[in-house]
Amino acid sequence: MTTPDHPSAASPDYAAIKQRQQATWASGDYAVVGVTLQIVGEQLAEAADLRADERVLDVAAGNGNATLAAARRHARVTSTDYVDALLDKGRRRAEAEGLNVRFEAADAEALPYEAGSFDVVMSTFGVMFAPDQLTAAREMLRVVRPGGRIALANWTPEGFIGQLFKTVGRHVPPPAGLRPPTLWGSEAHLTALFGPSAGGLHIERKHFNFRYRSAEHFLQVFAEFYGPTLKALAALEAEGRAALRHDILELARSFDVGGGRGLVVPGEYAEVVVTVA
C-alpha cells in the first residue's frame, strides 16, 4: 500500500524528473496562463489572513500571483521558484507596482532557509508539482514558525485540470512511480501530509473559471504557452498529436458552462490553510 512514508515499489529518479520538469515549465510562456489565475492568489491571501509585516515565503511561485497578493497586503515577501525565467516575470510585475519583494531561486524540496524563518508559506498551483511530495511538505513545515500558516491552492483530481492531466497522461504516460500532483487536492492526502504536524487543517473546494473564446482558443493557448501541454504534444507524432488535441477539445467542451457565449470552464481546486502546531 502506498502512503506518504511508504512510496510505491517503483522508485522514481527524482533528480531526473526534476530536470525534465524545469525544462517543461521553462518552455512556452507559463505567465500567459498564470497571470489569468491572479484572483486565486488574492483569495488565498485572504484565507491565510495575512497581516502587514508578516514574513511570507511563496514556494514554486511561478510568475508571482501569491507573491503580489501578499506584497499588496504589506507583508515582507520572499518569492522563490526553480525556473529563473518565471522569477523574472514576477520581478517585473512587482517592479511595475512598486512592491518590495525579494526574489530567489530555490527548490521546493530543499528550501535554503532556517527553521521557523517565516510566518506564512504560500503556493498557488506550484508546490503540488514537486516530484517528492513528502519532502516538499516537510520543507514547508520546517521553515514556518510554530503557530504560523501554510496556505495552498491545489487542483483537485476530479476537477477540470485534474482531468486534463489524466487526458494527457493517457497519450504521454508520466514517469513510473511518480505520484499524481493532483493528490494535493485530495483531503485524505493533505491530512496524511500535514495532519500530524497541524494544529488545524482547513480545506475548502473552490472554482476558478477558465474563460476563452472557444475550446479551440483554449487549446491554442495551452498548446503554445502551457509547458505540460506543449511538451506532451511535442513528444507525439502527427497522428498522436491529432488524437491528443481532439481529446483536449472534447474535455473542454464537456466542462463548458458558457452557453455558447464564449468558453467558461470551472476548474475545481482545493484552498488549503494549515496552522502549524
- Residue pLDDT, tens place only, 202-222: 999 999 999 999 999 999 999
Question: Taking a C-beta distance cutoff of 8 angstroms, is the pair 181, 137 a contact?
Answer: no
* Res 1 pLDDT > 80: no
73-92 confidence digits (pLDDT tens): 999 999 999 999 999 999 99
Question: Taking a C-beta distance cutoff of 8 angstroms, is the pair 70, 50 a contact?
Answer: yes
Residue with cell 504521454: 172
Mean pLDDT of 85-111: 97
Helices 227-234, 160-171: axis angle to 10 degrees equals 20
239-270 confidence digits (pLDDT tens): 999 999 999 999 999 999 999 999 999 999 99
Alpha carbon distance 129, 126 (integer Å): 6
58-67 confidence digits (pLDDT tens): 999 999 999 9
125-141 confidence digits (pLDDT tens): 999 999 999 999 999 99
Q: What is the pLDDT of residue 259?
A: 97
- The secondary structure element, H or E, covering residue 266 is strand 263-276
Question: How high does pLDDT run on average in the chain?
Answer: 94
pTM recorded for the entire structure: 0.93
Alpha carbon distance 192, 3 (integer Å): 8
Q: What is the pLDDT of residue 114?
A: 98
Helices 133-143, 187-194: axis angle to 10 degrees equals 50
Up-side HSE of residue 258: CA atoms within 13 Å toward CB?
Answer: 18
DSSP string, 195-213: GGGEEEEEEEEEEEEEEES
- Domains annotated for the chain, with CATH where assigned, are 14-157+172-208+269-276 (3.40.50.150)
| Residues recorded for the chain | 277
Alpha carbon distance 50, 99 (integer Å): 16
Alpha carbon distance 191, 112 (integer Å): 25
Question: Taking a C-beta distance cutoff of 8 angstroms, is the pair 24, 39 a contact?
Answer: no
